[in-house]
Amino acid sequence: MTEQKPFQVETTIDAPLETVWSALTTPGQIHEWFGWPHDGLDAEIRYIFVDHAEHLPPDRISLAAGQTIQLTTDGRRTVVRLVMAGDLDDAKWADVYDPLEEGWRAFFEQLRFLLERHRSAHRRALHLSGTATGPAALAMLAAAGVKEIWHESRCQQAVLDGDGHLIVVSATHPLTDTEAGPVGVTVTTYGLTDDSFAAVRQQWTARWQATVGDTEVSVG
């Protein structure tokens, strides 16, 4: 069995702890921020957040594989933290990519986007994947227009585009690397009609296809 990297991922959300707790424990609300829409999303949510979760209100959720979500208040805001059990100070993990770690990093930023900007709207999203260099993916973001930098880390960048949609670019290598590797982009929108979302999908798919060597698209 491959050894699991211990890690800690957190973000601070401008929302009360009770609101964040509800968004983390109610399947219908989890559907509005977790991952991206696909045929198996409901089953995935049930597996992670219901069948293999222990809710310890008001501020702790125990998940499978040694993962724990912790909530703490910071004035009017709430800090959401996912801890994977292990020695967080072990230097051997410093530069190791871990899909669980990066997944939670992106999903917590999507949770923050929902609760701070679109609490009562319905999500429509698409996920595109392919092969590209980090600089090429970031150049695509810049060319599309960046209204606000939402999050930056070693393997991810999240921005709000000119239309206010959340765009998360994730790579399996540092975004500064010039060697091509697997890269994905998730476009999260809220409150769009079918026609408006179809236009967003067409626009971002065209941008992505012009950037990557191969393309897979998941929409919902």
For domain 1-119, is the CATH number 3.30.530.20?
Answer: yes
Q: With residue 18 as reference, give the H or E element that holds it.
A: helix 17-25
Mean pLDDT calculated for residue range 21-48:
96
Q: Give the model's confidence band at 212: pLDDT under 50 very low, under 70 low, under 90 confident, else very high.
A: confident
CATH architecture of the domain with range 121-220: 2-Layer Sandwich (3.30)
Rounded distance between C-alpha atoms, residue 163 and residue 154, angstroms: 25
- pLDDT for position 220: 60
pTM (2 decimals)? 0.95
Phi/psi at 129 (nearest 5 deg)? -135, 155
**Cα angle value 194/166/199 (rounded, 5°):** 30
Domain residue spans of the chain: 1-119, 121-220
User: pLDDT tens across 91-109, in order?
Assistant: 888 889 999 999 999 999 9
Tell me whether domains 1-119 and 121-220 share a fold.
Answer: no
Which residue has tokens 């959401």? 80
